[in-house]
Amino acid sequence: MFKSLGPKTIIYPAPVLIVGTYDKTGRPNVMTVAWGGISCSDPPCVNISIRKTRLTYENILEHRVFTVNIPSKDFAAEADYFGMVSGKKGDKIAAAGLTPVRSSLIYAPYLKEFPFFLECRLLNSCELGVHTLFIGEILDLKAEESLVEDGCPSFVKTAPLLYAPGQQGYYAPGEFLGRAFSLGKK
C-alpha cells in the first residue's frame, strides 16, 4: 500500500553540483546546487535551479557562462559549506582551501581538486517560482585524465557525491548492477 506524502522535491539520488562563476569584480565564486541535471542530449545541456537572492544568479546573468563541477565523496564537507555560506560575505573557495582555475574556454572558474567539470554557456532561463531554471549548453567536459575510461569519467573512480533530499544526507555510489539498455532485455 502506498501512502500519500504530498508534493515534495525528492528524486533519488540528486547530484551535488558545484556551480562556478565570476562576480562583477572578477572574483571567483562557487555555489552548491542540488536541483539540477542533464536536460538535453542535442545540443548537450545541463540545468540548474537557483534562487534570485544568490550571488551565482547575478553572476550567471552578468556573464552568461558557468561551470558545473562534480565533487567526489572526499569533498562532502566543502560542498556542504559552499551551500551554507554566501559568496557575498567572503571568499568561500579560499576558506575551503581549494584552488579556483579560470576555464580556458569560458569566463568562469572550475575547482582544480574536483574530478571533472562542464563548461557551459547560458542558453535559456525560466522563472519557476522561488527558483530560476538556468539551462546551459555544455561546450566541453574536462576530466582528470586518470579517471577517463571509454571516453568518459569513470563513475566508480570519480565516486561522485550524491544527495538525498528527504534525509538531507550525502552519499557515495554503491554497487554496479548492470549495463543500461542491456539489463532490461532479460
pLDDT tens profile 124-171: 999 999 999 999 999 999 999 999 999 999 999 999 999 999 888 999
d(CA 96, CA 77): 9
Q: What is the pLDDT of residue 173?
A: 85
By the 8 A CB rule, do 163 and 174 touch? no
pTM: 0.94
Question: What are the phi and psi torsion angles at 185 (to 5°)?
Answer: -70, -20
CA-CA distance, 156 to 66, in Å (whole number)? 26
